[in-house]
Structure 1
């Protein structure tokens, strides 16, 4: 699995979207994609257990956020995915819980959580 690229232009910007694999077996590919980025979109799963595994001490959510910051990506967007699988579906309290926990971690590694957009998605 390799990185995928999509390019487009706006009146003001030239944009390249790099989709880097999130699976642990493809971390080298993720680093290759991230090292070229100005902004990262970190996708975290909202499902019970799934989010907790990703944000745990050895979880990939932490690893990917740290790698992005270390590689010089200073702009971050967090997509909270699978909001339809929360209990109840699209739970605002679950979204806020995830936002609080991710904010706490990304602040420790150098991001300003107030400057990070958190977007609920499914």
Structure 2
């Protein structure tokens, strides 16, 4: 599942508040058996591409997805701007501080830069036979 989080001031906070939809969607995905998660932190353009804001959101999001049941170390966190296309398919020049995402899998450590890389790194589920 891809959890899209708005980086805008107030938007992120509303989403992860006690009754927030971001929190609810993460819980729903886990409850429905989705074990692989990508967190896309959107609207980075509205934060002036702030590294501090990105790191703050990773920290807060990691805390609550851990409570839901996800391992934050197995999650790719990708800063994006859907409006401008940053870090969606190609690396963004607007966030030179962003060195890419890293996640731990059963097969080892996987790295990438973009949202597309994160989608490509999802392991196909094993079908019961």
Considering the TM-score relative to the shorter chain, is it more than 0.5?
Answer: yes
Q: TM-score, structure 2 length as denominator?
A: 0.62
Deviation at 1:79, TM superposition (A): 0.2
Decide which structure has greater strand share: 1
What's the counterpart of residue 42 of structure 1?
A: 3
Decide which structure has greater helix share: 1
Query: What secondary structure sits across from 1:44 in the alignment?
Result: strand
Deviation at 1:68, TM superposition (A): 0.1
Is 1:103 matched with 2:36?
Answer: no
Deviation at 1:103, TM superposition (A): 0.3
Unaligned runs of 5+ in 2: 82-129
TM superposition outliers: structure 1 runs of 4+ over 4 Å: none
Question: Which residue of 63, 79, 82 maps to 2:43?
Answer: 82
CA RMSD of aligned residues (A): 0.3
Instruction: Map 1:15-94 onto structure 2 (within 5 A).
Output: 40-86=1-47, 89-94=48-53
Aligned length: 81
